[in-house]
Amino acid sequence: MMSEIFFSIPDLRIFSYGTTLACGVLLWIIEGLNPFFFPEKRRSLHAKLNLSVAALNLLILLPSGILMAFMLEWSRNVWPGIGMLALHPVAKTILIILLIDLWMYLWHRLNHETALLWRFHSIHHSDAILDVTSSWRFHFLEILISELLRLPLFMLMGAGIEHSLLYSLFMTPVIEFHHSNISISPAQDRLARLIIPSPMMHRLHHSRLRSEHDSNYGSMLSVWDRLFGSFLMRDNLEELRLGLDHESDPGKQKLFALLKRPFCP
């Protein structure tokens, strides 16, 4: 088991959570010192809203993680999934992580292309001030649906909780990075997006223009956008308008308004 090669499960979980927190704090500091966009709203107020949304999601993610650990351990005893290929543990882990990231790409794309799912995902896109805290801003029902769908997929793959934790360990800092408001050079951004979705890629994904925000769906790797024709880039994003028309107004950017928005006409 990969967790026995690198970490125990509790160690891996603590390390994953610690990495998420440390990267978030570090990016928050850097984007305050060297921002790409200069937000009109106080950063602390923006963070307060997004962290409030994220705190609600923990009420789903924490019990979901416990349930997933039990279900994945049980399922591997009755269905080996990718284990049938008799791969080396490292090769098996790499394959599973790639498949999880492919699913994340497909799930993200479904959220844009399915009207019902977009009602929930649009809460994330209605944020007109993109920074590292935006990476944690998702409607709790989007999180719930995502958790319910990925559990059977993980069971089918023969994944264990250690694979889920390892994926989170690699993926979450990438998501925090490409949502962040840090300013890096065009050359650095081009280099980053050879492997991962870069900040410039993801800023375009948060454009108010549907032709632009229906692109660049990758979570950890940028290869899926290139393979499936959803990669998009353009120069001069300094004047890019973020958010959604009619949804990013200040009156709609309050906690209760965001939570009830998917159920309104």
In tens, the pLDDT along 83-142 reads 888 899 899 999 999 999 999 999 999 999 999 999 999 999 999 999 999 999 999 999
How high does pLDDT run on average in the chain? Answer: 92
pTM equals: 0.92
Describe the crossing of helices 9-33 and 43-78 by its angle, rounded to 10 degrees. 160
Over residues 68-92, mean pLDDT: 89
In tens, the pLDDT along 170-208 reads 999 999 999 999 999 999 999 999 999 999 999 999 999
Using the structure block, give the residue that is written with the tokens 């948060």.
206
Q: How confident is the model at residue 159, as a pLDDT?
A: 92
Rounded-to-integer distance, Cα 226 and Cα 230, Å: 6
Paired residues of 31 in beta bridges: none
Count the Cβ atoms, other than its own, within 10 Å of residue 105. 23
Q: How confident is the model at residue 103, as a pLDDT?
A: 97
Rounded-to-integer distance, Cα 20 and Cα 17, Å: 5
CA 147 to chain centre: 13
Q: Which of 86, 138, 100, 92 is nearest to 117 (CA)?
A: 138
CB 162 within 8 A of CB 65: no
CB 50 within 8 A of CB 136: yes
CA 21 to chain centre: 14
Band (1; pLDDT cuts 50, 70, 90): very low
